Amino acid sequence: MKNRNFLLLFAMLLSLGMILVACGDSGESESSGSDSDGNKSEGSGDFKAGMVTDVGGVDDKSFNQSAWEGLQAWGEEHGFEKGTNFDYIQSNEDADYMPNITRLVRDDYNLIFGIGYKLADAISKSAEQYPDTNFSIVDSVVDQPNVVSITFKEQQGSFLVGVAAAKKTKTNKIGFVGGTDSELINKFESGYIAGAKSVNPDIEVEVQYAGAFDAPDDGKLIASSMYNDGIDVIYHSSGATGNGVFAQAKDIKKNNPEKEIWVIGVDRDQYDEGQIGDYNVTLTSMVKRVDLAVQDVSNKAMNGEFPGGEVLAYGLKDDGVSVAKTNKEALTDEIIKSIEEWKEKIVSGEIEVPKTREETKAYVEAL
């Protein structure tokens, strides 16, 4: 009888111990926990980040593609899968912005990026409607507590490719092709003109806007006109429209391999876009690290450090913008040396690069 009672008591104690252990482990699960301040934080395995493109498309070889590459890199960094923890929705027209954002909200995405200033209104309205969701707008500023605004000092990088264009041109005539005539794209235009004029005040810079970021046929027509007028270097800041600029340059180079004409890419290193046989028409590219910014903000949000309400500005000093040096044959040591010299002046504060047409006019007049 005593043995039976002892075994019964032992079994009860063992069961109680297992219950206590289970209770002790309940706050240590992989999917949830607390940060160093004791605040509840969502587990990284449950975190979802998505992006909505503008009308240029996710494979625009430029802006949207760079953002998507950043989100993919974030997913790969954490072993996540597309469609589970990260994804994108492509917009075919402006009217798609709100429905696409709303779809990601309803699919329980914790962080939603609007890629491009054209999504600013949609992001602002969505942030008001869904205060428990975090948002990010790229290339614009939305003043909401649950929105982080990602901006770049595009005029700085554009200044340096303007220097490269002025050093490379044989005709002293260069061109700029923009997407839409807007405050943002004017920063690219202004920096480019200022950089080129700093090297040669007498250089001619022709500026044309296609009126869209998804019009490669228009980009091709504009480039054709510019090259026919003797322009031999064109810098584009026009998303998928710039694909037409590359297409025209390659057509000309194919028909006349001896003709020296160049394209300066934007956002990503667009060296591959300029390849035609043994030649490459991409002189350089003004690289804007949208990919790194997207990856950085995604990590901050996942780690409970979302900088809501802040405006992040990436420039030359922190490698947020840079100049691609892939085409080593075209971008000579002399040009690279000049680029580095002007970069130092910008980073040190000796030069304040203009970002509007009014500022550019004053800058050029002072040369």
| DSSP letters for 45-94 | GG--EEEE--TT-TTSSSHHHHHHHHHHHHHHHTT--BTTTEEEE--SSG
Q: How far apart are the first and last CA of the chain?
A: 107
Query: What pLDDT does residue 44 have?
Result: 62
Query: What pLDDT does residue 5 have?
Result: 45
Give the tokens for residue 151: 């901006």
Are residues 200 and 338 part of one domain? yes
CATH at residue 209? 3.40.50.2300
Dihedral of the alpha carbons of 232, 235, 239, 242, in degrees to the nearest 10: 0
Query: What pLDDT does residue 14 have?
Result: 42
Query: What pLDDT does residue 56 have?
Result: 84
- Could you read off the pLDDT tens digit of each residue along the chain, which spans 367 residues? 444 444 444 444 444 444 333 444 333 323 333 343 333 334 467 999 999 999 988 998 888 999 999 999 999 999 999 999 999 999 999 999 999 999 999 999 999 999 999 999 999 999 999 999 999 999 999 999 999 999 999 999 999 999 999 999 999 999 999 999 999 999 999 999 999 999 999 999 999 999 999 999 999 999 999 999 999 999 999 999 999 999 999 999 999 999 999 999 999 999 999 999 999 999 999 999 999 999 999 999 999 999 999 999 999 998 999 999 999 999 999 999 999 999 999 999 999 999 999 999 999 999 9
Beta bridge partners of 174: 205, 233
Give the tokens for residue 235: 């810098």
Query: What pLDDT does residue 45 have?
Result: 75
Are residues 337 and 219 part of one domain? yes
Q: Is residue 303 part of a domain?
A: yes
Residues in the chain: 367
Q: Is residue 235 part of a domain?
A: yes
3-class DSSP state for residue 15? helix
Query: What pLDDT does residue 61 have?
Result: 81
Which residues have a Cβ under 8 Å from the Cβ of 277 and sit 6 or more positions away?
A: 254
Are residues 258 and 295 part of one domain? no
Are residues 230 and 353 part of one domain? yes
Query: What pLDDT does residue 19 have?
Result: 38
Are residues 234 and 361 part of one domain? yes
Are residues 269 and 142 part of one domain? no
Q: Is residue 127 part of a domain?
A: yes
Give me the half-sphere count of Cα atoms (radius 13 Å) on the Cβ side of residue 359: 16
Are residues 193 and 114 part of one domain? no
Are residues 66 and 195 part of one domain? no
Are residues 241 and 101 part of one domain? no
Are residues 282 and 298 part of one domain? no
Query: What pLDDT does residue 108 have?
Result: 97
Q: Is residue 282 part of a domain?
A: yes
Structural domain containing residue 340? 154-287+332-365
Are residues 296 and 265 part of one domain? no
Are residues 75 and 170 part of one domain? no
pTM of the prediction? 0.81
Domain count, the chain: 2
Query: What pLDDT does residue 65 have?
Result: 94
